[in-house]
């Protein structure tokens, strides 16, 4: 991973007194100073996102550990960067010079599962799939399912308002957060939101914190809404000769008024990478695969699945059918989840996260391919196509500086194209560092000023994850 130091205009901390105060205030073993360990916990998975040099890592075990850390950093004017599992793709968890990284991966308790109220209370280090498995024992389901769900944490999902395969029908993380415990930039512990079915007392501050990427507070407890387990899904697969035709099928499904529980696109570059890694044979059969799931029960679900098949065929699929083999259906979705790590094996991957209205999915996919050709960059495509959230993956050879520069130009052009089609520069990964310039192009100066006013109110000293989401001080 090629990264440059990230520096922001914050008062330079006196790191020796800072570290001494942390070690004195926190239990033994909480403060990590080994250079290799600190470096390893100072960045997420965002390719080419700059990384600063942290003064220390605090491995928090409790809300009080986090509160004390923020209190000490506030006294020293030191930045604080919160970290979950480090699976992010925008640089949102990357260290800045002189900061303290607070890692929450040891706060892994599921504190309560309430079947009557259909909610769960968890610490931020709980892994997404672990929560899903635990609530499934009660016949319940936590829908947000990012591709990183086997590793990503609920706290990190909250920080970026993560989505996933199911969000086309069931929504994103913010739709499931009822209540948060948060350590603020003034080292106070507050509770935001409520567990009641209704409530309009005051502003929706819990909703504001979701997606704020650790710039407004550090989340130390999350209460999430649960749903009943859905019926077993029917999988529909379609093969297409190109991404634009597959995009037309996505638009056709939306035009038919069908809301599948998942509608995913995987292109030939991804299929070949998965085949090279896992030898699944998918790239021998299709250039582009669309995968849909329908989880309506009984005849209703079967009828909707048949309608999806019809939409695929009508849009130009070379083959489309309902899957009758559950193992085959699961293998297809496994290939979708393997696409990103499979591509990482080929070289550095710069990951996009744009989202456009569904009517513009075909045109946006075509524009991405045109940008790749013009800049001589291989761009693979995976997508939560059903809600227009596209993940172009820009691939370069290790050490090829010219290709890296072309990829960065292509990256910015893809952001601009998404905005041209009425979309956004990030659907679920967050702004972090990589998309700060794109955010300035998406939001008006007046709206950016509103963001900065909120930041100043909740983090008056500017110590929480500075330099992320929007440029510091601009």
Domain spans in the chain, listed from the N-terminal domain onward: 110-228, 230-328, 347-429
DSSP string covering 229-243: PPPPPEEEEEEESSH
Q: What is the pLDDT of residues 229-244, one digit of tens each?
A: 998 999 999 999 999 9
Q: What is the pLDDT of residues 367-402, one digit of tens each?
A: 999 999 999 999 999 999 999 999 999 999 988 999
pLDDT at 280: 79
CATH for 347-429 is: 3.30.70.2740
Query: To the nearest whole number, what is the mean pLDDT of the chain?
Result: 93
CATH for 110-228 is: 3.30.465.10
Q: Is the pLDDT of residue 364 over 80?
A: yes
Given 3.30.70.2190, 3.40.50.300, 3.40.50.12160, 3.40.1280.10, which CATH number is that of 230-328?
3.30.70.2190
Q: Is the pLDDT of residue 74 over 90?
A: yes
> Does the reported pTM lie above 0.85?
yes
User: Within 10 Å of residue 408's Cβ, how many Cβ atoms?
Assistant: 17
Query: Binning pLDDT at 50, 70 and 90, where does residue 310 land?
Result: very high
What share of the chain has pLDDT > 70, as a percent? Answer: 96
Note whether 230-328 and 347-429 share their fold.
yes
User: Element (H or E) spanning 70, and its range?
Assistant: helix 63-76
Q: Is the pLDDT of residue 137 over 90?
A: yes
Q: Is the pLDDT of residue 327 over 90?
A: no
pLDDT at 98: 96
Query: Binning pLDDT at 50, 70 and 90, where does residue 358 land?
Result: very high
Q: Is the pLDDT of residue 55 over 70?
A: yes
- Are 172 and 144 within 8 A, CB to CB? yes
Cα distance between residue 51 and residue 434, in whole Å: 12
User: Within 10 Å of residue 326's Cβ, how many Cβ atoms?
Assistant: 12
What share of the chain has pLDDT > 90, as a percent? Answer: 84
Q: Average pLDDT for residues 106-127, to the nearest whole number?
A: 98
Q: Average pLDDT for residues 247-273, to the nearest whole number?
A: 95
Q: Average pLDDT for residues 441-468, to the nearest whole number?
A: 95
Cα distance between residue 276 and residue 428, in whole Å: 28
Q: Is the dihedral of CA 324, 328, 331, 335 positive or negative?
A: negative
Rounded (10°) CA dihedral 11, 13, 14, 16: 180
Q: Is the pLDDT of residue 333 over 90?
A: no
Q: Taking CA 328 as the corner, what is the angle to CA 322 and CA 329, rounded to the nearest 5 degrees? A: 55
pLDDT at 6: 52
> Which whole-number Å values give the CA distances from 82 to 59, 69, 101, 220, in the listed order?
10, 11, 6, 10
pLDDT at 226: 98
Q: Is the pLDDT of residue 470 over 80?
A: no
- Are 72 and 18 within 8 A, CB to CB? yes
- Are 399 and 437 within 8 A, CB to CB? no
Q: Extract long-range pairs of 273-282: CB within 8 Å, 24+ residues apart.
A: 273/339, 273/342, 273/343, 273/345, 273/346, 273/380, 274/335, 274/338, 274/339, 274/342, 276/342, 276/345, 277/338, 277/341, 277/342, 277/345, 278/335, 278/338, 278/342, 280/331, 280/335, 282/332, 282/335
Query: Binning pLDDT at 50, 70 and 90, where does residue 10 land?
Result: very low
Q: Is the pLDDT of residue 9 over 50?
A: no
């Amino acid at each position: 991973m090629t990264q440059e130091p990230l520096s922001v205009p914050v008062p330079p901390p006196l790191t020796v007194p800072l570290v001494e105060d942390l070690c004195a205030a926190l239990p033994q073993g909480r403060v990590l100073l080994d250079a290799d360990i600190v470096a390893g916990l100072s960045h997420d998975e965002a390719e080419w996102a700059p990384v600063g040099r942290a003064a220390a890592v605090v491995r928090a075990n409790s809300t009080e550990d986090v509160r004390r850390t923020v209190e000490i950093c506030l006294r020293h004017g030191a930045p604080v960067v919160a970290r979950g599992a480090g699976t992010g793709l925008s640089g949102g968890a990357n260290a800045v010079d002189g900061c303290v990284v607070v890692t929450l991966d040891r706060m892994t308790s599921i504190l309560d599962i309430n079947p009557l109220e259909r909610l769960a209370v968890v610490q931020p280090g709980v892994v997404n799939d672990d929560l899903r498995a635990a609530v499934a024992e009660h016949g319940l389901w936590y829908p947000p399912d990012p591709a990183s769900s086997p590793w990503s944490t609920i706290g990190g999902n909250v920080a970026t308002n993560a989505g996933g395969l199911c969000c086309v029908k069931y929504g994103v993380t913010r739709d499931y957060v009822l209540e948060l415990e948060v350590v603020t930039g003034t080292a106070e512990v507050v509770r935001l939101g409520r567990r009641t079915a209704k409530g309009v007392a005051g502003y929706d501050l819990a909703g504001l914190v979701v997606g704020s990427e650790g710039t407004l507070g550090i989340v130390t407890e999350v209460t999430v809404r649960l749903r009943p387990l859905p019926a077993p899904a029917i999988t529909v697969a379609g093969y297409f000769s190109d991404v634009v035709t597959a995009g037309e099928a996505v638009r056709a499904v939306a035009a038919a008024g069908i809301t599948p529980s998942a509608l995913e696109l995987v292109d030939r570059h991804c299929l070949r990478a998965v085949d090279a890694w896992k030898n699944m044979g998918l790239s021998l059969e299709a250039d582009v695969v669309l995968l849909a799931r329908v989880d309506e029960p009984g005849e209703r679900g079967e009828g909707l699945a048949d309608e999806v098949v019809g939409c695929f065929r009508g849009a130009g699929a070379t083959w489309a059918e309902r899957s009758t083999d559950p193992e085959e259906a699961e293998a297809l979705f496994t290939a979708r989840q393997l696409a990103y790590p499979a591509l990482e094996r080929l070289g550095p991957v710069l990951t996009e996260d744009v989202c456009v209205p569904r009517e513009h999915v075909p045109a946006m996919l075509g524009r991405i391919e045109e940008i790749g050709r013009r800049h001589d960059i291989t761009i693979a495509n995976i997508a939560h196509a059903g809600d227009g959230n596209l993940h172009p993956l820009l691939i370069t050879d290790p050490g090829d500086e010219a290709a890296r520069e072309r990829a960065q130009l292509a990256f910015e052009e893809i952001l601009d194209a998404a905005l041209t089609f009425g979309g956004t520069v990030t659907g679920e990964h967050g702004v972090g560092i990589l998309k700060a310039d794109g955010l300035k192009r998406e939001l008006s100066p007046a709206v950016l000023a509103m963001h900065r006013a909120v930041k100043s109110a909740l983090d008056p000293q500017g110590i929480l994850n500075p330099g992320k989401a929007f440029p510091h001080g601009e």
